[in-house]
A = this chain, B = another copy of it.
């Protein structure tokens, strides 16, 4: 205890020690904090079995039978992309020109079933092509909107939990994944996420079915 008139040195020493300890703790916390994701995926990605990854994501109720397919169980760009997507807990915005990859389609439907709010924007011309996943997504109750203009809705990006941006040249098709030279950038960066989320919301509103032009032909 400090007695009035006694020297203040011990109090000062204690205060300084506390400040130093606080500073050390803050620095340690900064070092231990999870580093934001910064990943680049290059394609083509040779086909590998993603069954275990998707079965695990389906939860404990899903049947756990080993996949009989002959594909290797190696990690690849597709499995890494799937893992980033499946990390979603609250929301997923997809803005995709073409979407026909069955594994990615299954992952998105799984997330919807897990209660993640999924919204999809796609291209009107490409959504009807053979193998498109859009019909399956809609069948499961996922909200999908599409353009009705001249140009293509050519974006290929996803936003996971409003914190992670996945963007690049890759259309979500099996051909693109297995055959093309492609790149995908995965980044947890609030500034970029905000810009792409704003673009998503602009498109989401613009493609609202209530804004569709309905052509009424004269008799």
With an 8 A cutoff between CB atoms, is A176 at the interface? Answer: yes
Q: A97-B169, A169-B155, A199-B42 are in contact. Are A185 and B181 (CB under 8 A)?
A: no
Q: A154-B176, A154-B182 are in contact. Are A192 and B40 (CB under 8 A)?
A: yes
A147–B42 CA distance with the chains assembled, in angstroms: 16
Secondary structure type dominating chain A contacts: mixed
A95–B175 CA distance with the chains assembled, in angstroms: 19
B contact residues around A99 at 8 Å (CB): none
A residues 38-53 in Cβ contact with B at 8 Å: 38, 40, 42, 44
B contact residues around A169 at 8 Å (CB): 97, 154-157, 167-169
A155–B166 CA distance with the chains assembled, in angstroms: 15
Chain A interface residues (CB < 8 Å from chain B): 38, 40, 42, 44, 95, 97, 147, 149-157, 167-170, 175-176, 178-183, 185, 191-192, 195-196, 199, 203
Number of copies: 2
A155–B150 CA distance with the chains assembled, in angstroms: 24
Of the candidates B40, B150, B155, B181, the one whose C-beta lies within 8 Å of that of A195 is B40
Cβ distance A46 to chain B, nearest Cβ, rounded Å: 12
B contact residues around A183 at 8 Å (CB): 155, 157, 167, 196, 199
